[in-house]
Structure 1
Amino acid sequence: MLNLDEAERERAGQLLTAFFDDYERSIPHRAVVPEVDREALSALLTPFPDEGIGVEGLFHEINETILPNSTTVAHPRFLAYVLGPPNGIGPYAEAIAATINQNCNFWQLSPAASVVERAVVTWLSGLFGYGEQAGGILTEGGSIATLNALTVALHARRPRFRDRGLHKADKPLVVYTSAEAHRCVDKAAAILGIGLDNVRRIATDDQWRMRVDVLEKEIRADREAGREPFCVVATPGTVTSGSIDPVADIADVCERQDLWLHIDGAYGGLFVLSERKREEFRACSRADSIAVDPHKLLFAPLSAGCLLVRDRAGLTDAYAFSSSYLTVAEDPLMIDYMDYGPQLSRGFTALKIWSALRTFGVAAFRDAVDHMLDLAQYMADLIGAEGQLELMAPVSLTAVCFRIKHVEPAAALATLAEEGTALLGPARLGGRDGMRACITNYRTTRDDIEQIVARLTDMAGQAPGD
């Protein structure tokens, strides 16, 4: 039998609740990076038993082996990547989604889930000023959202792409993006058969933003060479420095040149929640598609991305296929998400996003975003005040890139992690190596920032001079 009996269900519930509570209390005291027990992890590779170990045995293994060898992503000084802790209701919503196990493909298998996903997508679309024709779908993350966006763009550019693919294309299609853009653009081009040779990495200005003059020059050159420009990927919140590409100017170019404009907002997009950043993101409403990551600034448990499109008909043009065994009557309240993306079987990802917005309210997320913006600027100010520390880029969002003079960045990063001060990440800008703190953690405080900068200052003081 694969069910738990009444006593086992009760015990599993007790152990799970205890796990949630104990972990929450332990976060500030846990090591950011675990001291990996390789012997214990190697033991996990032994064959699974014919006879199970039961509920008690399972939780014992989780507490004794899994948890001690897991990175404490929720730690307030985990600042290496654009990855925050889950919000407080997320684990409970995940458990409920697993319990009812809705398959979010066509609405008959998941009527409530279909409406919940529609509500989440509609709210996200509204943040960017998209109208009633807009639509979207939740994905596994921003990389998949960008892949799906370029797929929709291909179908828009090549109306017979579904039947003919790229084999019959008269001219090679070209994609343009910033030299500072995420690697997901390259991956999407490789997967879709566009090819890396047809991805143009556009130079950036002294603030690491895409140069529109260079973009236009590259487009002209490709047209003259017999290639077909078709898509620009702009990034409001680049992966290293958090710089915000000039979306309005890029949108002007796309309109003049008849190019699809995609916004990779996986890191930066949801800073639109902040009143102080809203104007910088206003031009995103002119994009044909936008990728955002609710598992970042909405703190949904991994994974939760989203693709938004200005005209939802583009999704069905790319992804809708008819099949008699999946036919169900249309309902104006429901959406068959199997026609909006490549997956058929899909989990109830929307529940954890919807639950958090219902539980905490939108204002709580606005406050969290502003809190992180404030902390990033505070860290930049502290670094700027230290003669032996050097900022490498303006702080546009929450990425703070810097160097310690006379200290090798990789060694400093390793020391910070090994001693348990913080987990920061590497940064490379303009051929120079440095360090990066990306504050996307609502648990982080000014005290945490002060502790990190004080340790950096100590390292600088111990380094040899010129």
Structure 2
Amino acid sequence: MNELLLTGDERDRAGARLLALLDSYERGLPKAEILPEPDRDVLASLLAAPMPERGVGVDALFDRWEDTILPNSTAVAHPRFLAYVLGPPNGIAPYAEAVAAALNQNCNFWQLSPAASVVERSVLEWLASVVGFPAQAKGILTGGGSLATLQALATALNDRVPDFHANGLQRASAPLVVYTSVEAHRSVDKAAAILGIGLDNVRHIATDSVHRMDVGALRAAIEEDRADGLRPWCVVATCGTVSTGSVDPLDDIADLCAAEDLWLHVDGAYGALFLLSEEMRGLMGGCARADSITLDPHKLLYASLEAGCLLVRDGAKLRDAHAFDSSYLTVAEDPLMTDYMDYGPQLSRNFKAFKVWSALQAFGVSAFREANVRTLGLARRLGEGIEATPGLTLLAPVTLTAVCFAVDGASDDDHTALLERLAAENVALLGPVVVAGRRGIRACVTNHRTSEADIDLVLEWLQSRLTGRR
């Protein structure tokens, strides 16, 4: 008997309990508490309890999950979870995750994961086609957009700094400067700090009246830094800022980067997969001109966490930045296979591509296209409702699915209290925002479960609050 395996009867029981749990969770979502008050006594007891010398068995473990873990978890799949750029997993995700866990493929070199190697390549080539990248593009699935941006800047350093692998930044040369907007995600600053660029060498460029990077200000900053003896080398543009969903003028930025010989990275973690929708191609088509781009399948493809992605236009540059020889890991090259250890910093990697590929197989691309179009429409519906409500002011155009608004005359504390009341009454979970120095409230419709009725419920609640009926 193997003490770490289940018996046949235990497997049957675990399978039945798991299916029942998933079914109960799904059926209960519409009425679930979005943000349950944590039972601190229960959580403290979890922390205080020693790991058992003897296991509790299948049924007792499921009981503990249902009694302690589920009730103290945020219901991110609730249709009115609208606080962050975080969508719920699609319906096949739990099953794909289970199969991936059973196979436990180490997606580093292809001999350890041949099918996984081909599946990841299939997903990446499809994502590259969505962006409009050429056939020589390569990529890798990551833990999220922040890691993808870190890897993108590492690739750019290796490409633009002579002998970067050997010398790093430990050389007497002009400091490198990276440019992004004041609305950019914090991962750009974090990557610059981790890679040794330094925050003093990150320029946060002002934005225009609709919160897009000001290309004139970018050009002026580059010229000033060159005149001061510094070395501009990279621009990080944003396709969907977290706060307002604005999309930087990508074509204009690409033109400037080409003229100045700068690496262009596009942070499309939030917005780039809206390229699945034909109506967004005019706004986002400049993504195809980037040297590298970040995408997040765990957002608009509704994969379960984690599933980020980095794509690099010239795939050889991604490999040059990350490939190292190891005789004990060498296997014969195969044109069908890819050794993903040569395209990122990890050696041990799980099978992230399986859940993305499985969902595309199960539902088809059109289902994701329709879901994304629906969320765009719902955000516009909410924005139009805000504009039509006396006492509410829209703080930014609804470009993607972020809807930012303020209550006229309300203080910061008033807005905080309103958010707390929305959550306490289980109406919706929205979040705070600051737009052009003004505090307000932000909803982000990146939830394929959200319906028109959910949006209308939030609007009705806000309207009733303003008229004093609540």
Cα deviation code 1:7-52 (max 9, x no counterpart): 1111000001111111110000100001210000011112111001
Cα deviation code 1:411-434 (max 9, x no counterpart): 111111111111001110111100
**Residue in 1 that maps onto 2:320:** 317
Change (3 A) 1:338 1:169: farther
Cα deviation code 1:276-313 (max 9, x no counterpart): 10121211111000000000000000010000000111
Question: Which structure 2 residues correspond to residues 144-163 of structure 1 after superposition, within 5 A?
Answer: 144-163=147-166
Conserved 8 A contact 1:404-1:456: no
Conserved 8 A contact 1:400-1:436: yes
Distance 1:332 1:279 in 2: 36
Distance 2:149 2:415 in 1: 31
**Residue in 2 that maps onto 1:459:** 465
Matched, 1:281 2:287: no
Matched, 1:24 2:26: yes
Distance 1:323 1:304 in 2: 27
**Residue in 1 that maps onto 2:359:** 356
Matched, 1:443 2:445: no
**Residue in 1 that maps onto 2:196:** 193
Specify every segment of 5 or more residues in structure 2 that has no aligned partner in the other structure, as ranges: none
> Runs (4+) of structure 1 moved beyond 4 Å?
none
Cα deviation code 1:160-184 (max 9, x no counterpart): 1111010115011101001101000
Distance 1:329 1:145 in 2: 28
| Structure 1 counterpart of 2:438, from 420, 432, 435 | 432
**Residue in 1 that maps onto 2:389:** 386
Conserved 8 A contact 1:113-1:351: yes
**Residue in 1 that maps onto 2:43:** 41
Aligned-pair CA distance for 1:456? 1.3
Distance 1:251 1:155 in 2: 20
Aligned partner of 2:268: which letter? G
**What is the DSSP-based 3-state SS (H/G/I as helix, E as strand, rest coil) of the residue aligned with 2:121?**
helix
**Residue in 2 that maps onto 1:57:** 60
Aligned partner of 2:345: which letter? P
Distance 2:468 2:415 in 1: 14
Aligned partner of 1:9: which letter? R
Distance 1:93 1:14 in 2: 17
**Residue in 2 that maps onto 1:184:** 187
**What is the DSSP-based 3-state SS (H/G/I as helix, E as strand, rest coil) of the residue aligned with 2:278?**
coil
**What is the DSSP-based 3-state SS (H/G/I as helix, E as strand, rest coil) of the residue aligned with 1:462?**
coil
Matched, 1:78 2:81: yes
Matched, 1:339 2:345: no
Distance 1:177 1:413 in 2: 31
**Residue in 2 that maps onto 1:409:** 415
Change (3 A) 1:115 1:169: farther
Out of 161-170 and 202-211, give the one that drifted further: 161-170
**Residue in 2 that maps onto 1:67:** 70
Aligned-pair CA distance for 1:348? 0.3
Distance 1:405 1:252 in 2: 41
Conserved 8 A contact 1:174-1:198: yes
**Residue in 2 that maps onto 1:125:** 128
Aligned-pair CA distance for 1:56? 0.5
| Structure 1 counterpart of 2:119, from 97, 104, 116 | 116
Out of 403-412 and 140-149, give the one that drifted further: 403-412
Out of 163-172 and 293-302, give the one that drifted further: 163-172
Distance 1:316 1:84 in 2: 31
**What is the DSSP-based 3-state SS (H/G/I as helix, E as strand, rest coil) of the residue aligned with 1:210?**
coil
TM-score calculated relative to the size of structure 2: 0.98
**What is the DSSP-based 3-state SS (H/G/I as helix, E as strand, rest coil) of the residue aligned with 2:465?**
helix
Aligned partner of 1:13: which letter? G
**What is the DSSP-based 3-state SS (H/G/I as helix, E as strand, rest coil) of the residue aligned with 2:467?**
helix
Distance 1:359 1:212 in 2: 42
Distance 1:156 1:47 in 2: 50
How big is the alpha-carbon RMSD for the aligned residues of Structure 1 and Structure 2?
Answer: 0.9
**What is the DSSP-based 3-state SS (H/G/I as helix, E as strand, rest coil) of the residue aligned with 2:177?**
strand
**What is the DSSP-based 3-state SS (H/G/I as helix, E as strand, rest coil) of the residue aligned with 1:138?**
strand
Out of 162-171 and 376-385, give the one that drifted further: 162-171
Alignment size in residue pairs: 463
Distance 2:136 2:376 in 1: 32
Distance 2:415 2:208 in 1: 24
TM-score calculated relative to the size of structure 1: 0.98
Percent identity between matched residues is 60
Aligned-pair CA distance for 1:461? 2.4
